[in-house]
């Protein structure tokens, strides 16, 4: 009976029931991703209030929103964090709040996937460090690639004419080598004659 009333209420309110149900089902997905989201919510007197939060949300819900396939419904933010005093991150969870928030998908102005969980008590330096670490890893890989020669070179030696005669004379046997060669021949002849 409650389900029937919910369907009737959704139909009367003009909401797309299929989108609402899809959003609810996607919020139940166990696989979560970290996002940074901006919500622009109409307040009393038509004032527009902006809210900025880091949070874990359903990965399938994020995918459908980012691919512009889901325009209506609710988005559940888990483990909510926000920028506070002195430009550091704070937990939304405290003695009063559970750390969860729910917004309408229609109120999302911007949603970005975040690579790492934001650390409470730190500021923007935590993201710069992650970026620097990635840049350092790329630089190290490039340095290693450059350290290994990838191009083979060939050197051609040209000898000037004056040096050619010196090289040729160096090829000729020295007096000692000539004397040793003569002795070897004499010994070989004497051995053969005996």
Report if residue 172 sits inside a domain.
no
pLDDT at 127: 77
| Strand ranges inside the chain, DSSP E | 32-42, 48-58, 74-83, 89-91, 101-104, 108-114
In a domain, 99, yes or no: yes
Distance CA 59, CA 118 (A): 17
**Is residue 177 in some structural domain?**
no
Structural domain contains residue 183: no
Which whole number is the average pLDDT over 56-84? 91
Domain with 44 in it: 10-139
pLDDT for res 101: 92
pTM of the model: 0.56
What pLDDT score does 156 carry? 58
How many domains in the chain? Answer: 1
Residue 23 lies in a domain: yes
Kindly tell me if the per-residue pLDDT of 78 is higher than 90. yes
pLDDT tens readout for residues 86-134: 889 999 988 888 999 999 999 999 999 998 899 999 988 887 765 555 5
For residue 54, what are the β-bridge partners? 36, 81
């Amino acid at each position: 009976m409650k389900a029937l009333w919910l369907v009737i209420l959704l139909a009367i309110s003009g909401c797309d029931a299929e989108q609402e149900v899809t959003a609810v089902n996607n919020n139940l997905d166990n696989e979560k991703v970290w996002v940074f989201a901006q919500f622009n919510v109409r307040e009393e007197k038509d004032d527009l209030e902006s809210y900025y939060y880091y949070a874990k949300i359903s990965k399938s819900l994020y995918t459908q929103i980012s691919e512009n396939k889901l325009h209506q419904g609710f988005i559940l933010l888990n483990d909510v964090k926000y920028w506070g005093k002195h430009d550091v991150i704070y937990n939304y969870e405290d003695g009063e709040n559970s750390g969860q928030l729910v917004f309408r998908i229609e109120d999302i102005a911007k949603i970005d996937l975040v690579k790492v969980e934001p650390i409470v008590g730190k500021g923007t330096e935590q993201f710069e460090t992650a970026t620097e670490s990635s840049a350092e890893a790329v630089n190290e890989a490039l340095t290693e690639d450059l350290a290994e020669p990838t191009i083979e070179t060939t050197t051609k030696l040209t000898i000037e004419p004056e040096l050619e005669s010196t090289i040729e004379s160096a090829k000729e046997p020295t007096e000692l080598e000539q004397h040793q060669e003569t002795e070897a021949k004499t010994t070989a002849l004497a051995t053969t004659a005996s």
